[in-house]
Structure 1
Amino acid sequence: MELYLDSADINEIEEAFKLGFIDGLTTTPTFMHRHGITDIDGAILKLSKMVPVLMIEALGDTAEEIVAEAKRLLSLGLDKNKTVFKIPASLVAAKACKMLRDEGMMVNIHLVYNIQQAYMAMAAGATYVCVLVGRMQDQGYEALKLVDDCVKLVNKYNYDTKIMFSSVRYPEHIKNAIDLGAQNITIPWKIMKNLNNNNFTEIGTHEFVNHTRQMTMVVGEVVGSKNPIIGLDGLVTDASIEMTRYATGAVSVVDADGKLKGIFTDGDLRRQMNTHGKKLLGMKMSDFDLKMPIHVNIDDKLHVAVGVFKEKQVDNIIAVSDGKPAGMLDVQDLVKLEIL
């Protein structure tokens, strides 16, 4: 089924055709008027250079006038092999269609509301017969049955005509067109760009991205720049200053070689204050029975850190390299990556 964009908005046309697989564009004078276009010929010529195939109106009161208008439009610089002339269904349209087709031009008989109009268009050699499904449904017509009848008519008598499903109002129409076997559908950009949206797809994609990141990224790629450190001979006041400077609730305690030996937290500060009072401010890290902090290696895959966060229910983990603190991994670092 050919996929066409239904629009006259230059910006969305440019965006849509970046997809690289849309077959063509349908537009109308009504669309152009709606977007403030006053130079219709100039707009048509510009659009013809932007899209693979362009469908435009060729209007007139007689078949001869319609043919003359089509030729005038071609004279602007349009490519006959990339231009389809749209003509509202009528006996005049059928005659003009035959005349244009005899000269190798492509024709779309549209505003088709019944199978008789479709038959006349096919008999005249129309390249496309266009059923405006949404508009017909608005007016109480059985539009889907008409599309089905048109497709059956093409298949039964082997007409060299494609049935276009147009006036698409919502995603269900795309499913209808597929089920009915229409050979062409033209869709507004606001609907086309949302056709891939699906909550289950989004959930599955999130899981795949999540697990891929956990298995391929290492802690060192995520760990933040916060790395408060104090030596064993550092004072409690020094530890408090470091925590304040880095806006953290803990400071890593290292030995003379920079190796991780423990952690001192704001909780430790409160508990030791209750025990030692003012004396605490002059005490060193080596005066306390420090606990070894929860830590992971900076080269560990992220799934290791995820497991620690889930098991220990903590907000921060010390990341180490060769036994030395290299930074703090915050649970929010993984939340931002949508891993937790």
Structure 2
Amino acid sequence: MKKVEDLKVQIFADGADKAGMLEMYAKPYIKGLTTNPTLMKKVGITDYRAFCKDILTSIADKPLSFEVFSDDFDEMEKQALEIASWGDNVYVKIPVTNTKQETCYALVRKLAAKKVKLNVTAIMTLAQVRDVVAALDPNVPSYVSVFAGRIADTGRDPIPLMMAAVEMLKIAPAAELIWASPRELLNIFQADDIGCQVITVTNDILKKLSLVGYDLDTYSLDTVKMFYNDATAAGFKL
């Protein structure tokens, strides 16, 4: 089994808790960070601009993605240009459609022409991958974020789709494919195996990295002890 340090896939930490983000940022195997409005809402962030600018005072040398949150493309463009101005390491997350299912491709093309580094997100089909790649400037760094975990949630195996997406991105040399919304640690190794460049991982999964290569007999015993200790602590009797 490969060690984490031997993986070619870049691991990005996905979160919005400042302490957690800084903890992950300090780890050498974390190559970038991402967040989104849902994660921010969960931790109680109310001032979007203030949070982003604050975290950028500590994280300036690894890619960091912030998402627009308007449903109107003109307003999205304004937000994107402001977000992009916050730092050279900032990527602007643009959803592949708005809530009316109107596609973002024209906006992506416009922003890419202005050399904005983009992270096009919430992608789940190869048609979306194809159209996003066509809209990008092939020479401007960007991410194409495919939600492999959500695809798996529907009972579909995401690996064939992700493998096809890897091939589709070859016409855009500055673009990298993100395996987004992983559901388990194994997904990191699966992403690496197919040549996916980036995987975004939440802290709860990242905490399991210490288990990579762990002896299974020992892990079995640990599990038995956990059940026993919890039953004892609960005072169960029959």
TM-score, length-scaled by structure 2: 0.76
1:72 CA displacement: 2.9
SS at match of 2:104: helix
Alignment partner of 1:152 is 2:167:
yes
Partner letter of residue 177 of structure 2? Answer: I
Counterpart position of 2:104? 93
Unaligned runs of 5+ in 1: 204-340
Q: Deviations over 1:73-96 (max 9, x none)?
A: 345xx11x2111111113641111
Q: Secondary structure at the match of 1:108?
A: strand
TM-score, normalising length from structure 1? Answer: 0.54
Structure-2 change in CA distance of 1:9 and 1:177 (3 Å): same
1:154–1:160 contact (8 Å) kept in structure 2: no
Give the AA of the match of 1:34: K
Conserved 8 A contact 1:94-1:120: yes
Q: Which residue is equivalent to 1:69?
A: 79
- The aligned residue for residue 175 of structure 2 is 161
Return 133-142 or 39-48, whichever deviates more: 133-142
Q: Distance in 1 between matches of 2:155 and 2:215?
A: 35
Deviation at 1:21, TM superposition (A): 4.1
Q: Per-residue deviation at 1:49?
A: 2.3
The equivalent of 1:195 in structure 2 is 209
Kept after mapping to 2: 8 A contact 1:165/1:182: yes
Query: 1:62 offset after TM fit, Å?
Result: 4.3
Compute the displacement of 1:28 (Å): 0.8
Contact in 1 for aligned 2:12/2:33 (Cα 8 Å) = yes
Contact 1:125 1:160 in 2 (8 A): no
Residue deviations 1:137-194 (CA, integer Å, cap 9, x gap):
1123332222111001123x35532110110111111111011110111111222232
Larger radius of gyration: 1
Cross-structure match for 1:83? 90
| 1:107-161: CA deviation from partner (whole Å, max 9, x where unpaired) | 1111111111001110111611111111121123332222111001123x35532
Higher relative contact order (CA 8 A, sep 6+): 2
Residue number among 24, 29, 38 corresponding to 2:37 in the alignment: 29
Q: Which amino acid aligns with 2:118?
A: V
Consecutive unaligned residues of structure 2, counting only runs of 5 or more, are 1-8, 219-238
User: Which of residues 141, 149, 153 is equivalent to 1:134?
Assistant: 149
Please give the secondary structure, in 2, of the residue aligned with 1:105.
coil
Residue 11 of structure 1: aligned partner: 19
What is the distance in 2 between the residues matched to 1:105 and 1:158?
Answer: 15
Give the whole-Å Cα distance in 1 for the aligned partners of 2:172 and 2:104: 21
Aligned to 1:112: 123
| SS at structure 2 position matched to 1:193 | helix
Match of 2:134 among 80, 98, 123: 123
User: Aligned equivalents of 1:145 and 1:174: distance in 2?
Assistant: 16
| Match in the other structure for 1:45 | 53
